[in-house]
Amino acid sequence: MPDLTAVKTALKAQRIELPSWAFGNTGTRFKVFAQPGVPRTVQEKIDDAAQVHKYTGVAPTVAVHIPWDKVADYAELAAYARGQGVAIGTVNANVFQDDDYKLGSVCHPDPRVRRKALAHLLECVDIMDATGSQDLKLWFADGTNYPGQDSIAARQGRLAEALDAAYRRLSASQRLILEYKLFEPAFYTTDVPDWGTAYLHCVRLGEQAKVCVDTGHHAPGTNIEFIVALLLKAGRLGGFDFNSRFYADDDLMVGAADPFQLFRILHEVHTAGGFDRAAGIAFMLDQCHNIEPKIPAQLRSVMNVQEATAKVLLIDTDALAAAQQAGDVLGANAALMDAYNTDVRPLLAEVRVELGLDPDPMAAYQRSGYAEKIVADRIGGTPASWGS
């Protein structure tokens, strides 16, 4: 059986990154439902993220999305975050919300648009230099809607050129994290549709290029843990964008739609030693809270990742290995299911108390009065939303 002290130590050491955009107003293409008390500025997004860290103790970094989180002085923003007890994490480039990008960004047929998109990627590395961020995360909405619309092969060439230039701009401690997504907004072809495409580009680029697995970016029924195991084995898993999906890129709370899938994914991470900080796996949330309150939803999400992690850490790996070696199919399956079926909430409550936190982050946050305070304080201004 795993040593409980070691399990607790691993849970205390876990780090989960929050997305700044989870705190702004979001919705679907049908409607964005505004919520009261939503941040008007990047600083207020950081304030809200800091609340999630305050009550969980494991979420000390906030990913930013540029230009949604554009400011004049990024070193100052990093200092502001430090003042709130958190740090700026991954810098996400955004080359999908400009009229110029109708036919794509770095894969666009017009070299002028490609230059503009690349300039933005390079600007994001400048921002990383100022904030001390390690990761540049690239997701491209590029693709085509109709057969014949553009050359699939030519677009791959243009993509490679832009990635090469962005990669060359990185310093030795920075990484380029390439994210794939099956479809949407393009419907016929997507220029980085799957892990294989992302992996091929990363291998060509070099060791500092890794793949991001966004759990919402696969076809229904895809075995994501298999992809994770392969990428880990190849040393090319940069990290996760965690969320839940029922149908497409739903961006719901991680572990909500299929907590067992999250457990299976994290089991592969554990098997490969990926919970070790040195493995460099980034555990990030990429979610939108359209109808639920945002800070509690982020708390719930962090707790869902912690619960799945705790269950994985409780797997009796010796019994599992012995059963696998002996061809004991049911025994091996039982070793996993025993851990999965354990109620780890009391264990996590203990971990929090040992960290000097409230055992129940959700209740502690609700009691704090912060939710009421931001509704009362944040009057006027423009609430943060997609595109601002």
Q: Where do contacts with ligand RM4 occur on this chain (CB under 6 A)?
A: 65, 92, 139, 179, 181, 214, 241, 249, 286
Q: What share of the chain is helix, strand, coil (3-state, %, to 5)?
A: 50, 15, 40
Q: Write the CB contacts of 388 (distance below 8 Å, at least 6 apart in sequence).
A: 24, 68, 382
Residue 181 contact, options ligand RM4, Mn ion, none, Cβ 5-8 Å cut-off depending on partner type: ligand RM4
The residue among 226, 224, 197 whose CA lies nearest residue 209 is 197
Cα(134)–Cα(276) distance, integer angstroms: 17
In the bound state with Mn ion, the residue whose beta carbon lies nearer, of 285 and 348, is: 285
Residue 321: CB minimum distance to Mn ion, A: 34
Q: Phi and psi for 25 in degrees, rounded to 5? A: -75, 135
Taking the least distance from each CB to ligand RM4, the nearer of 69 and 358 is 69
- 123: how many CB neighbours lie within 10 A of its CB? 15
Q: Could you tell which of ligand RM4, Mn ion, none binds residue 289, using a CB distance below 5 to 8 A set by kind?
A: none
Smallest separation, CB 271 to Mn ion (Å): 24
Establish if 286 lies at the interface with Mn ion (CB under 5 A): yes
Nearer to ligand RM4, 184 or 372 (CB): 184
Pick the closer one to Mn ion by CB: 17 or 241.
241
Q: Which is nearer to ligand RM4, 239 or 361 (CB)?
A: 239
Beta-carbon count within 10 A of 160 CB: 16
Among residues 179 and 225, whose Cβ is nearest to ligand RM4?
179
The distance between the two most distant Cα atoms of the chain, rounded to a whole number of Å, is 66
Closest distance between Mn ion and the C-beta of residue 118, in Å?
Answer: 21
The DSSP bridge pattern shows strands 143-144 and 189-190 to be antiparallel
Tell me the window of 49-57, 271-279, 286-294, 301-309 that interacts with Mn ion (CB under 5 A).
Answer: 286-294
Does 214 help bind Mn ion (rule: CB under 5 A)?
yes
Provide the 10 A C-beta neighbour count for residue 118: 21
Stretch touching Mn ion by CB under 5 A, among 19-27, 32-40, 61-69, 234-242: 234-242
Q: Is-contact 220 208, C-beta < 8 A?
A: no
* Shortest-Cβ-distance residue relative to ligand RM4: 139
Q: How far is the CB of 67 from ligand RM4 (least distance, A)?
A: 12
Backbone angles phi, psi at 378, to 5 degrees: -90, 70
Please identify, among the stretches 85-93, 224-232, 233-241, 272-280, the one whose residues bind Mn ion according to the rule CB under 5 A: 233-241
